[in-house]
Amino acid sequence: MNTPATGPQPIGRRGAIKALAGALSTGMLAACNGMGRPLSDAEKLSLNQSVEGKVYWLGDEAYEVARGSTCYRANKPKRYPQVIVQPLSDKDVVAAVKFAKAHGLKVTTRSGGHSWSASHIRDHCVLIDMARMQEISIDPATQTLWVNPGMIGSVINRHLEPHGLVVPTAHHPSPGIGGFCLNGGFGWNSRLWGNGARHVLAVDVVNADGELIRADATQNSDFWWAARGGGAGFFGVIVRMHLQARPRPKYWKATVYSFDNAAAVFDDVMTWACNIVPHVPPYLELVMSTTANKRETGEPCPARISIAALAITDDEAQADAALALLDSVPHREKANFKVEKVPTTLEERYQSGFKADPAGMRFAADNMYTDAPTEVLVPRLRKVFLELPTPHTHTFWFAWGPCKPFPKDMALSMQGPIFLGTYTLWEDEAQDTMMAAWPPMQMKALSDLSLGGQLNDENMLHHPQRYYTDEAWAKYEALRQKHDPQGRFEGFLGKPMPL
């Protein structure tokens, strides 16, 4: 399977040289403290010597490779941390945060580096890249596991398979479990089991003073609450997570209908989908997506639309009954590709996710939840679904509802019955500005229909919108002030609430 490597991802020699030239042209080659004074060799040495893992200073030869490898997307942001630390232990993380504190620098953290906005790559900070800490310990008796946040979802589920267990992870193999759960997390069977955030039983965190603490429902519970869906505003570095796993369901069965001429069937199919949301059982994932490349060859083509449903359950009859919901898909007899009620596996699903968002591409994303009435929504969606700017761009509709209220013991608070996400994929650097602008432009055009956004696919830098309820946001702001009064942790890249 084409799963990318777990550790830092190489950006290639040419990419590194090019990006370093960018840094050089900005005259940012000397690492500085928080006041802009260049750090002395002795000051740098103090960090190098207190960290067992790797340290890359701005200006070091290997810096740009280390910076680029923290980020899945090929369009690396032009933002430059003062230093990148790749810890091997909790002690290294403590040392990095204490160094930041002593020198007035801010801290960001990277787990798997799949944030679409690359929110961990910021100017003038200490970037803690958790990629080298890769421990997992499973307790089959309690169906729980301890894991470092830089471990990627598909690898965790491979470790869990012999125990008959699974955790909800991203539908793509390589997002880190850390960012996935911290930002909410739509994962396998999340409509039934809840988001990734809900599976976080405890976290070990290095706080703003550089102390290692454990947080769960009974101790340091502010940190636990925020780790469950708080996103990039989290006021600490999560070094370890205790997760609830689930017994792995026996049946993974799928139905897919794909139409080559999306424009011809769009109104009927989208109307059907929006109207069926209240009837989608919790163990069924129902997705519609458009893309503009041929299924078999990947060659460019006019937008085609797929309706895909995945039933995940222990009861085969229940899976088949759920998939029978798709018997009423309009025009399904004319589908150019169809599979009905076929068994599939988690590995196959990960591969399919990888095919949609392959490594090495340039990416931008944005999203929203909506509860707009079908007749209002469908005509407004034509542009974002049908006028895709590149062959691999895809727009995605997901039936999240009927929504159950989120419990109050987590920061994750934003949801809506229909999730919409749009993702531009391109290869040519010359298209960067145009392609990066496309997703927020589409979502802003629909903002009168939006309830707010999902943090995992956020683009709040270019499209501020609501990511929390008022109640959760007020609590979060107060906790950030209480636990990180000096703003040691960089926080959101953009505005997580409407302007």
Side-chain-facing half-sphere of 261: CA atoms under 13 Å:
5
**Does residue 238 belong to the site contacting ligand FAD (CB under 6 A)?**
yes
Q: Determine whether 121 is exposed, middle or buried from the number of CB atoms within 10 Å of its CB (0-12, 13-18, 19+).
A: buried
Q: b/e string for 367-390 if b means 16 or more Cβ within 10 A?
A: bbbbebeeeebbeebeebbbebbb
Q: How far is the CB of 140 from ligand FAD (least distance, A)?
A: 25
Contact 154, 174 (CB under 8 A): yes
- How far is 325 from 333, CA to CA, in rounded Å? 15
Count interface residues toward ligand FAD (CB under 6 A).
32
With CB under 6 A as the contact rule, the residue among 119, 424, 442, 459 that binds ligand FAD is 119
172-180, 246-254, 313-321, 382-390 -> range binding ligand FAD (CB under 6 A): 172-180
Contact 407, 280 (CB under 8 A): no
With CB under 6 A as the contact rule, the residue among 8, 53, 68, 176 that binds ligand FAD is 176
Q: How far is the CB of 318 from ligand FAD (least distance, A)?
A: 23
**Does residue 172 belong to the site contacting ligand FAD (CB under 6 A)?**
yes
- End-to-end Cα separation, the chain, in angstroms: 44
- How far is 243 from 167, CA to CA, in rounded Å? 8
Residues 255-274 that bind ligand FAD (CB under 6 A): none
Which regions of 268-336 does DSSP assign to beta strands (E)? Answer: 284-293, 300-313
Q: How far is CA 231 from CA 108, 228, 277, 359, 437, in A?
A: 12, 8, 27, 23, 23
Q: How far is the CB of 42 from ligand FAD (least distance, A)?
A: 29
**Does residue 452 belong to the site contacting ligand FAD (CB under 6 A)?**
no
> What single DSSP character describes residue 89?
S
With CB under 6 A as the contact rule, the residue among 56, 72, 193, 419 that binds ligand FAD is 72
* Amino acid making up residue 243: L
- Our CB check for ligand FAD shows the closer of 96 and 303 to be 96
- Our CB check for ligand FAD shows the closer of 226 and 256 to be 226
**Does residue 171 belong to the site contacting ligand FAD (CB under 6 A)?**
yes
**Does residue 109 belong to the site contacting ligand FAD (CB under 6 A)?**
yes
- Show Cβ contacts of residue 157 under 8 Å, excluding neighbours closer than 6 positions: 166, 167, 169, 346
- Our CB check for ligand FAD shows the closer of 457 and 484 to be 457
- Our CB check for ligand FAD shows the closer of 334 and 482 to be 482
**Does residue 366 belong to the site contacting ligand FAD (CB under 6 A)?**
no
**Does residue 82 belong to the site contacting ligand FAD (CB under 6 A)?**
no
Residues 177-236 that bind ligand FAD (CB under 6 A): 178-180, 182-183, 185-186, 232, 234
Helix (H, G, I), strand (E, B) or coil at 423: strand
Unique residue bearing structure tokens 């927020």: 440
With CB under 6 A as the contact rule, the residue among 75, 86, 115, 442 that binds ligand FAD is 115
**Does residue 393 belong to the site contacting ligand FAD (CB under 6 A)?**
no
Residues at the site binding ligand FAD, with contacts judged by CB under 6 A? 72, 109-116, 119-120, 130, 149, 170-172, 175-176, 178-180, 182-183, 185-186, 232, 234, 237-238, 357, 456-457
